[in-house]
Amino acid sequence: MIWLVALGGALGSVCRFLVGPAIQRAFGFTFPFGTLFINVVGSFILGVVAEIAIEGGPLSPNGRAFIGIGFCGGFTTFSAFSLETVALFEGGQVGRASAYVMASVMLSVTAALLGLIAARQLLAR
C-alpha cells in the first residue's frame, strides 16, 4: 500500500505542476487562481473517495489509499495556499488575502460536500 500512496502522490504532484500554472496563466497573476482551483478540485475528489469508502462502494482500500492519500495529498496545495496568503498579507493586500482565504475554505468545503453527494448518487444506481 505504501507504493500505491507514493505512486498516487507522484501522479498528484505532476498534475499539480501542470494544472496549477496553466490555470494561473489563463486567469492572470493578480490572484492565486491555480492553487484555489487545485484545492477545490482536490476537495471534490476526496469527497467522492470518502463517500465511496463510507458506503462500501466499488473502491478497494488500495484504491482509496492511491487516490485519497496519494493523489489528493500530492495534488492539493495547502502549504502553497498558506504561503500565498502570507505573501498577500505582507504585500499589504489584506482584502485579496482575506478573499483568498474565504474562497479557498468555502469553495473547498463545498466541493467536498458536492463530491460526497455525487458519489452517493453514483452508488445509488
The number of distinct structural domains making up the chain is: 1
Give the pLDDT confidence score for residue 9 in this predicted structure.
Answer: 98
What pLDDT is attached to residue 2?
97
The cell numbers describing 80, all together, are 502553497
pLDDT higher than threshold 90 for residue 110? yes
pLDDT in tens, 48-69: 999 999 888 889 999 999 999 9
- 5: confidence class by pLDDT, cuts 50, 70, 90: very high
pLDDT above 90 (res 109)? yes
From the number of C-beta atoms within 10 Å of its C-beta (0-12, 13-18, 19+), residue 86 rates as exposed
Separation of alpha carbons 25 and 29, rounded Å: 7
Which residues neighbour 35 within 8 Å (Cβ) at sequence distance 6 or greater?
Answer: 20, 77, 80, 81, 84, 104
- Average pLDDT of span 36-52: 95
For 17, the domain range is: 2-124
